[in-house]
């Protein structure tokens, strides 16, 4: 290239020869890159790159860029491709370093390594480099599934698979702490495992908005746009936070349109379904709803127990007894993140204090969390839910009739009232038509025995508990 001069202590003949070889190779490499990645991406990121220092001893060549941001972006997206191209060119280059041009000083040929060794360019400095920024514990293998999250889990696996998915974008919605962010990390990790060179970009909607505003202020919107459109997998968390932000929504719409048209994969999460998002451009909602919409409902008791069992299996000492696991699953119902936090707190306190993690210890340590999660289930509510389940009139719960079609549902309701409310046995008896407390004891024991031998009764109890808890 023009301006490519030699250091004085190199022989001018050898320097000229090396200059010519490097320039010729660079011209060929540039042409190949422009063909491979497309004119738009090449002109945006690589066209202005200049040849920098070359050290024959280490066979290292520097490529110079106008800014650290550009050098980092090219390193993260095209670094391996550039290094391989130079090695294949057969001009004595084994390593390529991408750097910001130092004060626009022209390149020079070096006999030995420079006195001040530059730091190698880092991967793209945003959430999105899977090897660095995605948490290994947030993988598909560590995601416990149940009826409430099975669809979202299956859809996440499909969009992360090596085969091109049949849908995009994927829109996952659910309340806070139910596993949406876990699935985003798992998607990125799995996708990168089979497509390591494909750019993956993950950010919250809030960060998307912040970076877009900063790019506008710095007059770098073209760089921002190009960076987003280079992604082959784009993951945006909590899209509801761009509500009411007109210019940000406009840019987001253009981004997802371009990515969908190019065959890229898009995954978006929110705290509610697309049609319930307020102050979001209808065109965005239409695009998002045009893929696959999957919800994550609050975890039911069975799923909460499964999650705690999985954590107990890898927790080590101190051991956590079944009674504590059952207490946690029934007491912490707000979200999975809080449930896992409560379990971790017990383990940590047990390890630090040397105390065994028994039920009394758990109840003492988690009293505040349990109070915050407490939802007052009433006996009246239990009667209504049981009556509806067994298709009888709610008044039958308080009647004197002893027909089996009425007596069994009444016993189930008494059992649930004892298990799920703080009411005493005499109080429960009075609410069920003025019955004696011994009648309630008999009902509870009968249902407990039937749960061990009758699968239908056990299934009924589980279903009713889920309805009441949720």
Statement: residue 200 has pLDDT above 80: yes
Check: CATH 3.40.50.300 for 130-296? yes
Confidence of residue 412 (pLDDT cuts 50, 70, 90): very high
pLDDT digits (tens, 9 = 90+) for 296-319: 988 888 899 999 998 888 877 788
266, containing H or E segment? strand 265-270
The model's confidence at residue 149, banded by pLDDT at 50, 70 and 90, is very high
Report for 87-91, 130-134, 285-289, 418-422: range of highest mean pLDDT: 285-289
Cβ–Cβ contacts within 10 Å for residue 245, how many? 19
The pLDDT of residue 16 is 58
Distance CA 356, CA 323 (A): 13
In the predicted structure, residue 115 carries a pLDDT above the cut 50: no
* Two domains, one topology: 12-100 and 301-373: no
Residue 161 pLDDT level (bands cut at 50, 70, 90)? very high
> What pLDDT does 357 receive?
85
The percentage of the chain sitting over the pLDDT mark of 70, rounded to a whole number, equals: 87
Q: Among 93-102, 120-129, 392-401, where is mean pLDDT lowest? A: 120-129
H or E segment at 62? strand 60-65
**Most confident by average pLDDT, 32-46, 179-193, 196-210, 448-462:** 179-193
Average pLDDT estimate for 189-206: 88
Range in 58-62, 108-112, 160-164, 354-358 the model is least confident about: 108-112
Model confidence band, residue 374 (pLDDT cutoffs 50, 70, 90): low
The size of the chain, in residues, is 470
Beta bridge partners of 269: 172
Mean pLDDT across the chain, nearest whole number?
81
Tens-place pLDDT, residues 215-263: 888 888 888 888 888 889 999 999 988 888 888 899 899 989 888 888 8
Q: What is the mean pLDDT of residues 399-406?
A: 86
pLDDT of residue 171: 95
Q: Which residues contact 265 (CB under 8 A, 6 or more apart)?
A: 159, 165, 168, 169, 170, 191, 232, 233, 234
Q: What angle do CA 384, 462, 344 make, to 5 degrees?
A: 120
pLDDT of residue 137: 73
Phi, psi of 134, deg, nearest 5: -95, 130
Please classify residue 362 by burial: count the beta carbons closer than 10 Å to its beta carbon, then call 0-12 exposed, 13-18 middle and 19+ buried: buried
CATH architecture type of domain 301-373: Orthogonal Bundle (1.10)
Q: What is the pLDDT of residues 314-348, one digit of tens each?
A: 877 788 888 889 888 888 877 888 888 888 888 88
pLDDT for 265 beyond 90: yes
Domain ranges of the chain: 12-100, 130-296, 301-373, 379-469
Going by pLDDT thresholds of 50, 70 and 90, the confidence category of residue 190 is very high
pLDDT at 58 over 70: yes
CA distances from 347 to 316, 339, 341, 381, 414 (A): 9, 13, 10, 36, 35
6 pLDDT higher than 50? no
Q: Sign (positive/negative) of CA torsion 410, 414, 420, 422?
A: positive
Tokens at residue 201, please? Answer: 């970009």
What pLDDT was estimated at residue 59? Answer: 83
Does residue 420 or residue 134 have the better pLDDT?
420
Confidence of residue 119 (pLDDT cuts 50, 70, 90): very low
CATH superfamily of 12-100: DnaA, N-terminal domain (3.30.300.180)
Helix count and strand count (H, E) for the chain: 20, 8
Taken in order 98, 104, 106, 109, the sign of the CA dihedral is: negative
Query: DSSP character for 160?
Result: H
Q: Looking at residue 15, what is its pLDDT?
A: 54
Least confident of 79-83, 210-214, 281-285, 445-449: 79-83
CATH level 2 (architecture), domain 379-469: Orthogonal Bundle (1.10)
Closest CA to 286 of 304, 262, 260, 305: 260
């Amino acid at each position: 290239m023009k301006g490519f001069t030699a250091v004085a202590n190199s022989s001018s003949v050898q320097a000229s020869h090396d200059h010519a070889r490097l320039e010729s190779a660079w011209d060929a490499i540039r042409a190949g890159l422009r063909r491979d990645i497309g004119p738009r991406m090449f002109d945006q990121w690589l066209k202005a790159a200049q040849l920098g220092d070359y050290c024959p001893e280490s066979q290292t060549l520097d490529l110079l860029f106008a800014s650290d941001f550009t050098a980092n972006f090219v390193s993260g997206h095209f670094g391996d491709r550039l290094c391989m191209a130079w090695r294949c060119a057969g001009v004595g280059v084994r390593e390529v370093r991408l750097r910001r041009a130092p004060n626009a000083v022209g390149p020079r040929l070096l006999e030995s390594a420079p006195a001040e060794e530059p730091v190698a360019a880092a991967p793209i400095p945003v959430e999105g480099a899977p090897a660095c920024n995605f948490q290994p514990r947030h993988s598909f293998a560590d995601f416990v599934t149940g009826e409430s999250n099975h669809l979202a889990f299956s859809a996440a696996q499909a969009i992360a698979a090596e085969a091109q998915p049949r849908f995009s974008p994927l829109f996952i919605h659910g309340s806070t702490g139910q596993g949406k962010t876990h699935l985003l990390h798992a998607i990125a990790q799995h996708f990168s495992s089979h497509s390591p060179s494909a750019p993956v970009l993950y950010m919250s909607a809030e960060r998307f908005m912040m970076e877009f505003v900063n790019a506008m202020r710095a007059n770098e919107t073209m760089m921002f746009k190009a960076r987003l459109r280079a992604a082959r997998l784009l993951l945006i968390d909590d899209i509801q936070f761009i509500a009411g932000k007109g210019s940000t929504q406009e840019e987001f719409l253009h981004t997802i349109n371009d990515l969908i048209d190019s065959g890229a994969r898009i995954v978006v999460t929110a705290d509610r379904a697309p049609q319930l998002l307020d102050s979001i451009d209808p065109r965005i909602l239409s695009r998002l709803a045009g893929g696959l919409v999957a919800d994550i409902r609050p975890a039911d008791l069975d799923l909460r127990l499964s999650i705690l069992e999985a954590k107990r299996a890898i927790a080590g000492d101190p051991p956590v007894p079944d009674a504590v696991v059952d207490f946690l699953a029934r007491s912490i119902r707000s979200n999975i993140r809080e449930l896992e936090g409560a379990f971790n707190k017990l383990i940590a306190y047990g390890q630090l204090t040397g105390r065994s993690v028994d039920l009394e210890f758990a109840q003492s340590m988690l009293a505040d969390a349990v109070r915050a999660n407490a939802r007052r289930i009433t006996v009246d509510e239990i009667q209504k839910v049981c009556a509806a389940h067994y298709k009888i009139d709610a008044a039958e719960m308080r009647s004197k009739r002893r027909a089996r079609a009425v007596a069994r549902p009444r016993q189930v309701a008494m059992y649930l009232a004892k298990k799920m409310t703080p009411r005493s046995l005499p109080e429960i008896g009075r609410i069920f038509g003025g019955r004696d407390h011994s009648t309630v004891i008999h009902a509870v024991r009968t249902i407990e025995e039937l749960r061990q031998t009758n699968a239908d009764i056990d299934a009924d109890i589980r279903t009713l508990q889920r309805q009441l808890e949720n």
